[in-house]
Amino acid sequence: MSSEKHQKIVPYKERKESKKKQVSTMFDTISSEYDKLNRMITFGVDLSWRKKLVHHIVSLDPKTVLDVATGTGDLAIAIAASSKAKVTGLDISPGMLEVGKQKVQSQHLHHQIDMVIGDSENLSYADQSFDAATVAFGIRNFENLEIGLAEIFRVLKPGGSLAILETSMPTNPILKLLYKVHGRIILPLFGKLFSRDPRAYKYLSDSAEKFPYNERLTEVLKHVGFSKTSYHPQTFGAACIYYAEK
């Protein structure tokens, strides 16, 4: 499964920088507004999606969890608050991590959560370091999808679980049209009205629409070595939760 089409979607087409560098810059720019705008854009439904993913991970009773592309740490915080797991939140954007660190401190979870700068496609951890791994709205930002997923596979222990939450596309024609209107018109409009970097929200829309979802993503997971893959559409297919095992 190739990720070439995914790789071409970048925030700033006029720049010669790698997608990785552009994504880091983009999220640094919007970090202070990201949480508020994310709630507005999804009408708060993303909270229920995360809750389902957290319930699944916590039910496995992992001792160590790696939250890749943690952003401002919502998922890492939710997992730590619901379990005794030691959680490592990793992200390429210092700006997003700084917001996340403040949230971790305010909830007194700094002894349970480490927020660290890192590249999801070149993880600094040894093989078989974590019991579970999670990614929420982050894998479509990988420069190379297969390399990023293969790195997660590498650092998971045998029997370890991966849970992914990502946007997808409804299959119903009417809902699909509404989804595209939301992504192509409403999302960029929110960006223009409320964001310091409107192009960031156009990128988020474009990358969501082009990203391989449902069966296509489970095929990529299988290709890098995962087994017991499954996908579970959320809210009429606007998002999808994926589970896989090493």
CATH code where residue 221 lies? 3.40.50.150
At 176, the pLDDT band (50, 70, 90 cuts) reads confident
- 49 with 241: CB under 8 angstroms? yes
Residue 20 within any structural domain of the chain: no
Which residue would you say has higher pLDDT here, 101 or 175? 101
Determine the pLDDT at residue 69: 97
Give the Cα separation of 149 and 90 in Å (integer): 14
Neighbouring CB atoms inside 10 A of 196's CB total: 11
Rg (CA), the chain: 17
- Ranking 24-33, 65-74, 86-95, 118-127 by mean pLDDT, the lowest is 24-33
Q: Which two tokens stand for residue 154?
A: 């590498």
Return mean pLDDT, the chain.
90
Determine the pLDDT at residue 17: 85
Residue 98 within any structural domain of the chain: yes
**Model pLDDT for residues 49-76, shown as the tens digit of each residue:** 999 999 999 999 999 999 999 999 999 9
Task: List the Cα angle 156/161/162 in 5-degree steps.
Answer: 90
Length of the chain: 246
Residue 77 within any structural domain of the chain: yes
Determine the pLDDT at residue 4: 38
Residue 224 within any structural domain of the chain: yes
**Which helix (H) or strand (E) element contains residue 30?**
helix 19-42
Residue 92 within any structural domain of the chain: yes
**Model pLDDT for residues 179-222, shown as the tens digit of each residue:** 777 778 877 777 777 777 877 778 877 887 788 989 999 999 99
Residue 159 within any structural domain of the chain: yes
Q: How far is CA 235 from CA 47, 48, 55, in A?
A: 12, 10, 17
Residue 205 within any structural domain of the chain: no
Q: Which domain holds residue 142?
A: 4-10+44-168+212-245
**Model pLDDT for residues 106-152, shown as the tens digit of each residue:** 999 999 999 999 999 999 999 999 999 999 999 999 999 999 999 99
Whole-structure pTM value: 0.90
Q: What's the total number of domains in the chain?
A: 1
Residue 34 within any structural domain of the chain: no
